[in-house]
Amino acid sequence: MTDTLFSHPEVLTIIVGLPLLGVIAKVFGQSFEKIAKWYLYAAVFAVIIVMDSIFFPFIGGKDWYFRYAVELSLIATLFWWAFESRDGEMKNRLKHTFKKPIVMAVSAFTTAFLLACFFANDAYAAFWSNYERGEGGFQMIHYFLFFVLLVFLFREEKEWRRIFGLSLIASAVMIGYGLLGNYSVPGFIGPYTGNTAPTGWFHQLIDGRFQGSLGNPAYVAPYLMFSMFFIAYLWTTAWREKRLTKAMAWTYGIIIAIFLFFFVLTQTRGAFIGLGLGLLAFMIYLAFAAHGKMRTWARFIVVLLIVLGGGIYAIRKSPITNYIPEGRLLQISFSDPTVQTRFWVWGEAWKGFLERPVFGWGPENFTAVYDLHFNPKFFVPGQNTETWFDRAHSVFFDYLSETGIVGLLSYLSIFVVFAWEFFKAHRRKAANIVLAGFVLAMPIAYLGQGIAIFDVFPMYLSLFLFLAFATFYFEKGHAEAAKESNS
């Protein structure tokens, strides 16, 4: 009997279950527009999908579920346009959506990415990708649709609060799956195999790098960075609107502490550096934008962070780091073997770029670059070393080698436009300086961790959700600034 996707009960549940939810909602009188929003809410739960009946249990199911939810949201939006919208409403809202600078920048990046697929060394692989990664042009189209639908449909702050809250629930379930995996509960995949699990519940928790339901600690850390931003947003908006109770403040604080704890358990040094850069950027912004005691404390913390960073760098090679729990985070050195492999693979990516500088080799085509320019230093006789890479392990070198200078510049233009929009929206005193600082810090933290890791589904999902929110946030800031100037 031939095995197909329909042979897996998890896939069949998704295929039947998601549209059934929409049908039930319509029976109970919900509009197609609201149903389209519900499918976007559902999409953030893709991170918890793990299918142990397929070869890559942490990857395929997430991609299929996410694509299906986005496609159903698009279909519901088209039904809204056909049967429920007013004359000209769809056209006006689309025109308004695509006039937004960040939408234009993301559209340019998506176009460049798809052009790189068309001119790729292997166009089929570039567009359709494979089961191991799933991040080709077809998936990028779905990320773009997710982003555009969010901007198009979410026009009220309560909708952003709702999707952030649901994303936090997904993050909690992701952590819960990881805990069950760490303790080898049947049916949950964890970091230990066979008899490799350490003795004692505490060591089972902290000795292995935490991978949650994402399957890789390097993915969990940046995903949790975005989750902590969502909590910060909910916290600061509740504070601004004077609806923050003590119970809410304690709840948000505890959730951030839990997420930070599991962030540390991933032992992902690149994300640790990214979070540090984001925190430093946040404090520098407050040091200039805030007033009174807040400005004084912000300047003090900036100095403290610089001193702390220097101290960590000073002890990075000290034996004391071996005795500190999760001390791997402090062992940052250019001579570290994993850092050296990064430098070597970046060198190969640079050579690949020089050979195909305009649109690169195509997404999911880095293996051709790696094989062509293989560095024999990767192979160390007698040692268990990693000798094969299908990514350049850096968002910058990945886009440079796979999508060329056009792709990299279009990717970076998103953040240039973001910075322009940020400072344009806050050229006067921000209504919520703390929230503004978090908004500025998030892309800095993301880009900082991206120096040493490539984008995959959890990062793309969170990044496009954040960028869609940023369009709403900046538009609101522009409106408030215009209102101030006219009053």
The per-residue pLDDT string of the chain (487 residues; one tens digit each, 9 = 90 and over) reads 455 555 566 777 777 778 888 888 888 888 999 999 999 999 999 999 998 877 788 998 899 999 999 999 999 999 999 999 999 999 999 999 999 999 999 999 999 999 999 999 999 999 999 877 889 999 999 999 999 999 999 999 999 999 999 999 999 999 999 999 888 888 888 888 767 777 777 778 877 789 999 999 999 999 999 999 999 999 999 988 888 889 999 999 999 999 999 999 998 888 989 999 999 999 999 999 888 888 899 999 999 888 887 777 666 666 655 545 545 555 566 566 677 788 888 999 999 999 999 999 999 999 999 888 887 777 766 666 666 788 888 999 999 999 999 999 999 999 999 999 999 887 666 668 899 999 999 999 999 999 989 999 999 999 999 999 999 999 887 776 666 666 5
Answer whether residue 414 is part of any domain: no
Q: What's the CA gap between 33 and 37, in Å, rounded?
A: 6
Answer whether residue 58 is part of any domain: yes
Q: What's the CA gap between 394 and 466, in Å, rounded?
A: 20
> What is the DSSP secondary structure assignment for residue 431, as one 8-state letter?
S
pTM, 2 dp: 0.92
CB atoms within 10 A of CB 280: 19
pLDDT score at 244: 87
Q: Which residues contact 283 (CB under 8 A, 6 or more apart)?
A: 298, 301, 302, 305, 437
Answer whether residue 56 is part of any domain: yes
Answer whether residue 167 is part of any domain: no
> Structurally, how many domains does the chain consist of?
1
pLDDT score at 54: 77
pLDDT score at 205: 82
Closest CA relative to residue 363, chosen from 331, 333, 408, 328: 408
Answer whether residue 179 is part of any domain: no
Q: What's the CA gap between 222 and 236, in Å, rounded?
A: 21
The number of helices, as runs of H, and strands, as runs of E, in the chain is 18, 0
Answer whether residue 205 is part of any domain: no
pLDDT score at 317: 62
Q: What's the CA gap between 463 and 470, in Å, rounded?
A: 10
* 3-class state of residue 451 by DSSP: coil
Q: What's the CA gap between 227 and 101, in Å, rounded?
A: 25
Q: Which domain holds residue 14?
A: 1-99
* 3-class state of residue 408 by DSSP: helix
Answer whether residue 38 is part of any domain: yes
pLDDT score at 15: 74
Answer whether residue 21 is part of any domain: yes
Q: What's the CA gap between 104 and 125, in Å, rounded?
A: 27
